């Protein structure tokens, strides 16, 4: 029996066509349509075969069935003689409507919650990187015997604004990428760094399952060094009524008594409690408000979700006592969370490896990070368990072994701009003159674009692209200053209509090279957590 006929029969369970038959199906669909089909994408549901195809200038959703009715899909259909009768072949754009209809047919393409499994968030600022992320995850799992759960749709509101994208488009791009690669193991969708209730609403409507609340604007970093009178004044500014407690009760609960952590004992002084409340109290109140709104909105939408709280983009380190304060108060306020991103020791800058303190050697800084991270693990195991999240986690290769050793599976690695840098690596190889244009754009806009990031790259320290031969251009992507400058200026590049068009066209014309660069890079990210 023809594989086409087999999967057009009613009553078959929805899912991917087995790999042993997918290639034959893909070839047959290609012969019927004249469109190249990605073999891994062939799937079936409700007596319909779905596949993702590629034309010279775009991608297209194809499906074959006996009936003319396209249901919820929108596209053009034709009847063609095939397989002992007539088959309807539909050609559909990769639109929001068609992505939603496809997720209803193939449930594995719908974002889901991940829970406490070790996980990796793969930000994709261009909407083209998902196949490379999936290939990396497959390679790591095949070689190590274990893998990481993937969050394939992840973008912050800040990044959406700078790229001209929106939350729904980010989920849809991940949907198409997962279909292309035949990824049926599920994935999450991270509404990253949410700051307002309106942000929450947009992401609930788009079906996100992982919500990263960023109350950083409500953290008072000056509380770290405030003198006693100023510290009390700051503590009194905490919205205690929203927290359903007061400073005296808080001090009574947390200070002056031993706190048994998973593998150690901690005693917190009254001053430490007061300082923690002054620093993080307003942030906790904001997080609780965001969480309650999310609970209400997700119930209306019948959406499962999980929460992360992030205070990583702040100026001062989160101490062990402050972590205890955050976790104990979240629990008292009945906030449920799956992961937390403290501000760790050292500098986690964009797109480069861990940076230690200037007064210490790198070896000494790594030892200090190990000691501090071990305490955060103890708190997370005691008040959870919950995962510790590494934000700006891209390229932090020197700390991955430490994090994996100490946290085990209770870790979430969050990456974003490093995928954009791998896109630029592809451009540097295949279109060096175009890469130089992008580099000049980055140099022109860095003084302005760096303002909202914790970075230390300096323009006068960046390698001059014009001093390098075409074959040497990729050296810029190994240079500390160039990496950060290229990283944080992505918005200026992709909002330039001409640069954005040419960037997308170059990557689509060289997609296997692009996916290969992403796979190699993300294997390096995931492998230390899957040993």
Is residue 439 a contact partner of residue 486, using CB atoms and an 8 Å limit?
yes
Question: What local confidence, expressed as pLDDT, does residue 199 receive?
Answer: 96
What percentage of the chain reaches a pLDDT higher than 70? 99
Question: What local confidence, expressed as pLDDT, does residue 20 receive?
Answer: 92
Q: Say how many CA atoms lie within 13 Å of 496 toward its Cβ.
A: 13
Rg (CA), the chain: 25
Q: Which of 192, 272, 313, 349 is catalytic?
A: 192
Question: What local confidence, expressed as pLDDT, does residue 6 receive?
Answer: 84
Angstrom distance (rounded) from CA 445 to CA 332:
45
The reply to whether 506 falls in a domain is: no
Helix pair 167-181, 130-144: axis angle to 10 deg? 50
The yes-or-no answer on residue 498 being catalytic is no
pTM over 0.85: yes
Torsion angles phi and psi, residue 524, rounded to 5: -60, -30
The reply to whether 273 falls in a domain is: no
The reply to whether 87 falls in a domain is: yes
Angstrom distance (rounded) from CA 401 to CA 396:
10
The reply to whether 97 falls in a domain is: yes
The reply to whether 32 falls in a domain is: yes
Angstrom distance (rounded) from CA 310 to CA 330:
13
Range of the domain at 91: 3-103
Query: pLDDT tens track of the chain, all 531 residues?
Result: 477 878 888 888 999 999 999 999 999 999 999 999 999 999 999 999 999 999 988 999 999 999 888 999 999 999 988 766 789 999 999 999 999 999 999 999 999 999 999 999 999 999 999 999 999 999 999 999 889 999 999 999 999 999 999 999 999 999 999 999 999 999 999 999 999 999 999 999 999 999 999 999 999 999 999 999 999 999 999 999 999 999 999 999 999 889 999 888 999 999 999 999 999 999 999 999 999 999 999 999 999 999 999 999 999 999 999 999 999 999 999 999 999 999 999 999 999 999 999 999 999 999 999 999 999 999 999 999 999 999 999 999 999 999 999 999 999 999 999 999 999 999 999 999 999 999 999 999 999 999 988 899 999 999 999 999 999 999 999 999 999 999 999 999 999 999 999 999 999 999 999 999 999 999 999 999 998
Q: Say how many CA atoms lie within 13 Å of 93 toward its Cβ.
A: 5
Question: Which residues, in sequence order, are CB contacts of 222 under 8 Å at separation 6+?
Answer: 234
Q: Say how many CA atoms lie within 13 Å of 346 toward its Cβ.
A: 28
Q: Which two tokens stand for residue 406?
A: 């100490």
Length of the chain: 531
The reply to whether 73 falls in a domain is: yes
The per-residue pLDDT for range 409-463, each reduced to its tens digit, is 999 999 999 999 999 999 999 999 999 999 999 999 999 999 988 899 999 999 9
| Total number of domains constituting the chain | 1
Q: Which of 220, 308, 395, 519 is catalytic?
A: 308
Is residue 211 a contact partner of residue 170, using CB atoms and an 8 Å limit?
no
The yes-or-no answer on residue 192 being catalytic is yes
Torsion angles phi and psi, residue 77, rounded to 5: -125, 150
Question: What local confidence, expressed as pLDDT, does residue 355 receive?
Answer: 95
Is residue 86 a contact partner of residue 4, using CB atoms and an 8 Å limit?
no
Mean of the per-residue pLDDT values for the chain?
96
Question: What local confidence, expressed as pLDDT, does residue 47 receive?
Answer: 93
Question: What local confidence, expressed as pLDDT, does residue 515 receive?
Answer: 98
What percentage of the chain reaches a pLDDT higher than 90? 92
The reply to whether 165 falls in a domain is: no
The reply to whether 88 falls in a domain is: yes
């Amino acid at each position: 029996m023809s594989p086409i006929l087999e999967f057009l029969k009613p009553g078959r369970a929805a899912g991917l066509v087995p790999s042993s038959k997918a290639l034959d199906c893909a070839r047959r669909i290609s012969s019927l349509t004249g469109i190249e089909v990605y073999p891994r994408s062939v799937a079936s549901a409700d007596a319909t075969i779905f596949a993702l195809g590629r034309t010279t200038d775009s991608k297209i959703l194809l499906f074959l069935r006996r009936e003319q009715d396209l249901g919820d899909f929108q596209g053009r259909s034709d009847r063609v003689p095939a397989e002992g009768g007539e088959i309807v072949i539909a050609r559909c754009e990769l639109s929001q409507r068609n992505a939603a209809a496809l997720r209803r047919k193939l449930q594995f393409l719908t974002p889901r919650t991940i829970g406490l499994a070790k996980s990796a968030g793969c930000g994709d600022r261009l909407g083209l990187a998902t196949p490379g992320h999936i290939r990396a995850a497959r390679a790591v799992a095949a070689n190590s015997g274990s893998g990481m759960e993937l969050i394939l749709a992840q973008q912050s509101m800040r990044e959406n604004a700078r790229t001209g994208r929106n939350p729904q488009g980010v989920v849809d791009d991940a949907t198409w990428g997962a279909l292309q690669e035949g990824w049926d193991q599920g994935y999450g969708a991270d509404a990253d760094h949410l700051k307002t209730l309106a942000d929450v609403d947009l992401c609930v409507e788009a079906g996100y399952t992982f919500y990263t609340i960023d109350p950083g604007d409500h953290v008072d970093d000056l509380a770290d060094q405030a003198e006693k009178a100023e510290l009390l004044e700051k503590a009194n500014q905490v919205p205690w009524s929203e927290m359903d407690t007061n400073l005296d009760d808080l001090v009574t609960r947390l200070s002056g008594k031993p706190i048994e952590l998973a593998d150690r004992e901690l005693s917190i002084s009254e001053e430490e409690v007061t300082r923690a409340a002054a620093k993080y109290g307003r942030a906790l109140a904001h997080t609780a408000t965001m969480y309650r709104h999310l609970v209400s909105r997700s119930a209306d939408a019948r959406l499962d979700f999980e929460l992360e709280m992030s205070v990583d983009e702040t100026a001062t380190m989160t101490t062990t006592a402050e972590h205890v304060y955050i976790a104990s108060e979240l629990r008292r306020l009945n906030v449920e969370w799956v992961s937390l991103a403290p501000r760790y020791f050292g500098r986690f800058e964009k797109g480069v490896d861990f940076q230690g303190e200037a007064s210490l050697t790198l070896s000494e800084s790594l030892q200090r990070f190990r000691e501090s991270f071990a305490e955060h693990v103890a708190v997370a195991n005691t008040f959870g368990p919950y995962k510790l999240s590494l934000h700006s986690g891209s390229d932090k290769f020197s700390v991955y072994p430490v994090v994996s050793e100490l946290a085990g599976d209770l870790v979430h690695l969050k990456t974003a701009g490093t995928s954009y840098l791998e896109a630029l690596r592809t451009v540097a190889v295949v279109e060096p003159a175009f890469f130089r244009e992008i580099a000049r754009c980055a140099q022109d806009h860095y003084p302005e674009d760096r303002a909202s990031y914790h970075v230390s790259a300096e323009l006068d320290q960046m390698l001059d692209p014009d001093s390098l031969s075409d074959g040497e251009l990729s050296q810029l992507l190994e240079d500390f200053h160039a990496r950060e400058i290229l990283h944080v200026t992505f918005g200026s590049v992709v909002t330039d209509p001409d640069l954005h068009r040419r960037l997308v066209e170059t990557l689509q014309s060289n997609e296997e090279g692009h996916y290969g660069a992403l796979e190699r890079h993300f294997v390096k990210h995931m492998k230390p957590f899957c040993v």
